[in-house]
Chain A
Amino acid sequence: MSDYVRRTNNEEVPVTADPGETPAGTVGTGTADLTLDATVAAADVPPELVAQTLGQYFRASWLRVRSGNSGVLPVVLGIVVVAVGFQIANSKFLSAQNLVNLFEQSTVYMLLAMAEIFALLLGEIDLSVGLVMGLGSVVVAELVQPTGADWPWWAAIIATLLACAAVGAIQGTLVSRFRMPSFIVTLGGLLILEGVAIIVLGGSLVGIGNSQYRNEVALYDIFWGTFNPVVSWILMAVLVVGAGTGLWLREASKRRNGLETSPRSLTVLKIALMAAAGIALVAICNVNRAHFGTIEGVPFIIPIVLVVLFACTVLLQRTRFGRYVYAIGGNPEAARRAGVSLPAIRTWGFVLAALISGIAGVLFASWQVSLTTNIIKASNSYVLLAVAAAVIGGTSLFGGRGKTIHGVLGGLVIGGIYNGLYLLGVSSQWIDVVVAGVLLAAALIDVLSRRGATGQA
């Protein structure tokens, strides 16, 4: 885990590489062999820091995978297995219509998994993300009711996010200041939230499906609305060019400053991959997927999830806060002695988890259109899927290891399993059984890979 702390130090301290063989400030010539000799050290360092060519990069990555740091590899394999398996079982699975459907369903899992990752990285767990989402969905729906609060949609969303963040702050304080076990705090918390959400709901039903009210329509469109195909292409192009330029410029400036950089070919490869994924996504979404009339274009929620993913990635990988989160998850005592304020960072971790759950709540309200007591109760079961998605994605249950992208990929696997089994006509209780099996398998892989990693060290 030490790698995360060191490797993002670029701006402040020009020290990067871990192995003492590569002194900072000199362009590391002749490190080619060291990467293979210093197996142990290399396994702990991101491959782009030690590799000078694409071949070395792949070798270093493989070394890391072998030592238990498998990163996104298992989950990518999982996505391929899910896609191929269900496609063989039902040829509709990979149709454009179903794929868009699958992306849409998965966004809620993705957001909740990203929320859960903040707790998991700290070595804690948040069992209340499902009900924070449930509470958020009820609050946002109630606030835009024309017969009730009648707030503008944006104010309702902001208020909802603030309310959810406040819930996270309370739970985080109980965990961090009083050192109550997080799973009990959030277990008690979810019970209380369930009650509060039912109180907020008041009657038996609240809906946002009335097309006569501007604010309800705005909320409805968050999940169900789409960009038109042309705008989709333009947006995608802007995003890819922007991200590609950013990546390229960062590498170039690092190289100019004589810092360790990844090989140019790798940067080109990354940009190409991004472009290919973007083109594929927009191409799939632009197919008309309606039985009658036209429904086409990229759903709004896909860029929303990408923005959350980007923000969380920057926060965790490029800021001091993110480094502290990893430090605490890796070894709280060491972090404390290094001067990290454990209670503050832990509390903020829970606040962020609840905040992202609140975003999921807004999506959830938009997705469900009308909310009932039963839907609130059902929102609780999403926490299991959130933990499963995060762990399947490659986030460790023991803290300090994982990235937000893992939540997105894990959420896609969970969404794929749900969607695929549903297509095959499997009843919901068997889907639960399958998801439980996947969660156990992911936890087992996590435990075994940790064991492998400590064995090497």
Chain B
Amino acid sequence: MTADPSETPAGTAGAGTADLTLDTKVAAADVPPEILAQSLGQYLKAWWLQVRSGNSGVLPVVLAIVIVAVVFEIITPEHAFLRPSNLVYIFGLSTVYMVLAIAETLVLLLAEVDLSTGAVALIGGVIAFKLVQQPGPDWPWWAAVLAALACCGAIGAIQGALTALLRIPSFVVTLAGFLLFSGILVVILGGADSSVNLNTAVPNQNVIYEMVQGLISPVVGWIILAVVVVAVGASLWLRGTARRRQGLVAPPLSLTVIRIALVAIIGAAVVIICSINRGSTLKTVAGVPWVIPIVLVVLGAWTLVLQRTRFGRYIYAIGGNPEAARRAGVRVPAIRIWAFALSSATAALGGILLGSFFYGEYSTNTADPGQLVLYSIAAAVIGGVSLFGGRGKAIHGILGGLLIGGIAFGVSLLNLGSLSTPLTYILPGGVLLAAVLIDVLSRRGAGSVTRV
């Protein structure tokens, strides 16, 4: 799991590797730059090499987010797009897409696809909402959330088993699943015109309502931010020094410092934006929505699982080359089933957040499961997850979700009259096609470099 080029044997601090990074372009393009680089300059050069060879990572989506923000700020009436109240609304809206995109990423990494994500998410949301109803089951909120995750996990496991064991193509299994669960959704809602609501007066139900709608007071927000930055910084710093002590290749110190600073700056920006009063002078509305730390926990958990566990490595291995993974002793069907199950469980969390975002109400009109799954695939692919498996990270889902949420909200801000409904379909479709085109072309670029 360390350096690929044989020029840098593990265990020796690579002195004199400075030139090799540029000579062995082919190998360098395939290796994370922090492994090869000894100084910040080398790191940037190695990173640029990676971008040029098609491994552009988060760069395109970050650029796209900047462009979308600037363009909408210019063209929206009264330049309202970047107002704090709107930004916080975009965060709330985007979190649903972010979580669903992470769910979809898990499956895409295996070179499969899950078209039922939207329907499963809605089922998860409705299950959780139904279980806390009073009169009704009146379960504690955490038990209801866990039950929703477990139910959807089971759904995912079944679909995964059909794909992994019987080798029915995943898009057919999940297409049928989409139809099936869209129908079952209406059944458990209790009919076509039924809805299920959270009663905010009941503390137990209010917890779920507050997931997206609730705010952390600004002071607590700053404290949480400080804790997060210190924790992330300490772990990054300690990992770097530990590796260096043991003579392993480690990212240059300056890079670690920059990373910690970036986390701190982005975090501070979010807290500052959220802490501005976006209510009226009479009623103050300020603070970070609870959903932001929730999404960060999801991101952190999936980043850890994908990057630091054996399960995660196996997912990348299968996505890269299933036959090679099988011959290396990976139990491919088991990993596939687990990935589908965990993806659906993550989707269920997205569904619960969706209900909370719509002010604690779930009806058949809350969201179209078909559109939801398209948005989540689009978010993952736009974020930089490859459709062909083996390439992508949880952070890509987050960034892609933010972009989709930003576009969806930006269009609704424009006074387009009858055009605004069609545009909510056309823009994500166009962005999806553009993202896949970039994915295909960059893969072609990557292929040509390796072949040289």
By a beta-carbon cutoff of 8 Å, the part of chain A in contact with chain B is 125, 174, 178-181, 183-185, 187-192, 194-196, 198-199, 202-203, 373, 377, 380-381, 384, 387, 391, 397-398, 427-433, 435-437, 439-440, 443-444, 447-448
- The answer to whether A196 touches B426 (Cβ under 8 A) is yes
In this assembly, does B228 line the interface, its C-beta being within 8 Å of a C-beta of chain A?
no
- The answer to whether B183 touches A436 (Cβ under 8 A) is yes
By a beta-carbon cutoff of 8 Å, the part of chain B in contact with chain A is 113, 162, 166-169, 171-173, 175-180, 182-187, 192, 368, 370-371, 374, 377-378, 381, 387-388, 418-419, 421-426, 428-430, 432-433, 436-437, 440-441
- The answer to whether B429 touches A440 (Cβ under 8 A) is no
B436 proximity list for chain A (CB < 8 A): 180-181, 184-185, 188
Can you list 20 A-B pairs, Cβ within 8 angstroms, ordered by A?
A: A178-B441, A189-B429, A191-B426, A192-B429, A194-B425, A195-B424, A196-B422, A196-B426, A198-B422, A203-B418, A373-B421, A431-B183, A436-B180, A436-B183, A439-B176, A440-B162, A440-B168, A443-B172, A443-B173, A444-B166
- The answer to whether B374 touches A187 (Cβ under 8 A) is yes
The verdict on A187 contacting B377 (CB below 8 Å), with A180-B437, A437-B180 known, is yes
- The answer to whether B426 touches A195 (Cβ under 8 A) is yes
Measured CB to CB, the nearest residue on chain A to B419 is A199
A203 proximity list for chain B (CB < 8 A): 418
Question: What is the CB-to-nearest-CB distance from A207 to chain B, in angstroms, rounded to a whole number?
Answer: 18
| 4 smallest beta-carbon distances between A and B, as pairs | A191-B429, A195-B426, A195-B422, A195-B425
Question: What is the CB-to-nearest-CB distance from A199 to chain B, in angstroms, rounded to a whole number?
Answer: 5
**Additional 19 contacts, C-beta under 8 A, given A184-B432, A189-B429, A194-B422:** A125-B171, A178-B441, A180-B440, A187-B374, A188-B436, A192-B433, A196-B426, A199-B422, A391-B172, A428-B183, A428-B192, A432-B182, A433-B179, A433-B183, A435-B179, A436-B176, A436-B179, A440-B172, A444-B168
- The answer to whether A184 touches B176 (Cβ under 8 A) is no
Interchain CA distance A384-B182 in the complex, whole Å: 13
Question: What is the CB-to-nearest-CB distance from A285 to chain B, in angstroms, rounded to a whole number?
Answer: 32
Interchain CA distance A372-B182 in the complex, whole Å: 22
Q: Which of B167, B388, B424 contacts A447 (CB 8 A)?
A: B167
Q: Which of A195, A397, A432 contacts B429 (CB 8 A)?
A: A195
The verdict on A439 contacting B175 (CB below 8 Å), with A195-B422, A195-B423 known, is yes
Measured CB to CB, the nearest residue on chain A to B186 is A429
Question: What is the CB-to-nearest-CB distance from A373 to chain B, in angstroms, rounded to a whole number?
Answer: 8
- The answer to whether A179 touches B440 (Cβ under 8 A) is yes
Interchain CA distance A267-B112 in the complex, whole Å: 46
- Which of B175, B192, B381 has the most chain A CB atoms closer than 10 A to its own CB? B175
Interchain CA distance A319-B437 in the complex, whole Å: 33
B192 proximity list for chain A (CB < 8 A): 427-429
B387 proximity list for chain A (CB < 8 A): 181, 184
Interchain CA distance A381-B441 in the complex, whole Å: 31
- The answer to whether A191 touches B428 (Cβ under 8 A) is yes
Measured CB to CB, the nearest residue on chain A to B441 is A178
A380 proximity list for chain B (CB < 8 A): 370
Question: What is the CB-to-nearest-CB distance from A185 to chain B, in angstroms, rounded to a whole number?
Answer: 7
B377 proximity list for chain A (CB < 8 A): 184, 187
Interchain CA distance A125-B169 in the complex, whole Å: 12
B440 proximity list for chain A (CB < 8 A): 178-180
Interchain CA distance A127-B451 in the complex, whole Å: 34
Question: What is the CB-to-nearest-CB distance from B45 to chain A, in angstroms, rounded to a whole number?
Answer: 31
The verdict on A185 contacting B433 (CB below 8 Å), with A198-B425, A433-B184, A443-B168 known, is yes
Q: Which of B419, B426, B432 contacts A187 (CB 8 A)?
A: B432
Q: Which of A178, A373, A384 contacts B437 (CB 8 A)?
A: A178
> How many contacting A-B pairs (Cβ < 8 A)?
135
Interchain CA distance A431-B95 in the complex, whole Å: 33
- Which of A174, A189, A202, A432 has the most chain B CB atoms closer than 10 A to its own CB? A432
- The answer to whether A202 touches B186 (Cβ under 8 A) is no
B421 proximity list for chain A (CB < 8 A): 195, 198, 373
Q: Which of B180, B381, B425, B430 contacts A433 (CB 8 A)?
A: B180
Interchain CA distance A425-B388 in the complex, whole Å: 44
- The answer to whether B175 touches A447 (Cβ under 8 A) is no
Interchain CA distance A380-B422 in the complex, whole Å: 15
The verdict on A183 contacting B187 (CB below 8 Å), with A192-B425, A198-B425, A199-B422 known, is no
B378 proximity list for chain A (CB < 8 A): 188
The verdict on A188 contacting B180 (CB below 8 Å), with A181-B387, A202-B418 known, is no
Q: Which of A188, A373, A448 contacts B430 (CB 8 A)?
A: A188
Interchain CA distance A178-B430 in the complex, whole Å: 16
- Which of A185, A192, A391, A435 has the most chain B CB atoms closer than 10 A to its own CB? A192
Question: What is the CB-to-nearest-CB distance from A137 to chain B, in angstroms, rounded to a whole number?
Answer: 16
Interchain CA distance A128-B234 in the complex, whole Å: 50
Question: What is the CB-to-nearest-CB distance from B97 to chain A, in angstroms, rounded to a whole number?
Answer: 15
Interchain CA distance A198-B419 in the complex, whole Å: 9
Measured CB to CB, the nearest residue on chain B to A199 is B422
- The answer to whether A397 touches B172 (Cβ under 8 A) is yes
Measured CB to CB, the nearest residue on chain A to B444 is A179
- The answer to whether A188 touches B429 (Cβ under 8 A) is yes
- The answer to whether A191 touches B432 (Cβ under 8 A) is yes
The verdict on A439 contacting B437 (CB below 8 Å), with A198-B422, A429-B184, A432-B182 known, is no
Interchain CA distance A307-B440 in the complex, whole Å: 39
Q: Which of A178, A191, A427, A432 contacts B180 (CB 8 A)?
A: A432
Question: What is the CB-to-nearest-CB distance from B252 to chain A, in angstroms, rounded to a whole number?
Answer: 38
B374 proximity list for chain A (CB < 8 A): 187-188, 191
Measured CB to CB, the nearest residue on chain B to A383 is B175
Interchain CA distance A34-B180 in the complex, whole Å: 48
A174 proximity list for chain B (CB < 8 A): 433, 437
Interchain CA distance A92-B425 in the complex, whole Å: 42
- The answer to whether A183 touches B171 (Cβ under 8 A) is yes
The verdict on A447 contacting B422 (CB below 8 Å), with A430-B187, A436-B177, A436-B180 known, is no
A435 proximity list for chain B (CB < 8 A): 179
Measured CB to CB, the nearest residue on chain A to B175 is A384
Measured CB to CB, the nearest residue on chain B to A178 is B440
Measured CB to CB, the nearest residue on chain B to A384 is B179
Question: What is the CB-to-nearest-CB distance from B183 to chain A, in angstroms, rounded to a whole number?
Answer: 4
Interchain CA distance A199-B437 in the complex, whole Å: 25
A192 proximity list for chain B (CB < 8 A): 425-426, 429-430, 433
B428 proximity list for chain A (CB < 8 A): 191
Question: What is the CB-to-nearest-CB distance from B319 to chain A, in angstroms, rounded to a whole number?
Answer: 14
Question: What is the CB-to-nearest-CB distance from B363 to chain A, in angstroms, rounded to a whole number?
Answer: 14
B388 proximity list for chain A (CB < 8 A): 181
B432 proximity list for chain A (CB < 8 A): 184, 187-188, 191
Interchain CA distance A179-B177 in the complex, whole Å: 27
- Which of B183, B192, B421 has the most chain A CB atoms closer than 10 A to its own CB? B183
- Which of B167, B378, B388, B432 has the most chain A CB atoms closer than 10 A to its own CB? B432
The verdict on A188 contacting B183 (CB below 8 Å), with A180-B440, A397-B172, A447-B166 known, is no
Question: What is the CB-to-nearest-CB distance from B117 to chain A, in angstroms, rounded to a whole number?
Answer: 13
A430 proximity list for chain B (CB < 8 A): 183, 187
A187 proximity list for chain B (CB < 8 A): 374, 377, 432
A437 proximity list for chain B (CB < 8 A): 176, 180
Interchain CA distance A194-B436 in the complex, whole Å: 19
Measured CB to CB, the nearest residue on chain A to B371 is A191
Measured CB to CB, the nearest residue on chain B to A434 is B183
Question: What is the CB-to-nearest-CB distance from A84 to chain B, in angstroms, rounded to a whole number?
Answer: 25
- The answer to whether B425 touches A191 (Cβ under 8 A) is yes
Q: Which of A195, A202, A391, A440 contacts B173 (CB 8 A)?
A: A440
B370 proximity list for chain A (CB < 8 A): 380-381
Interchain CA distance A183-B433 in the complex, whole Å: 11
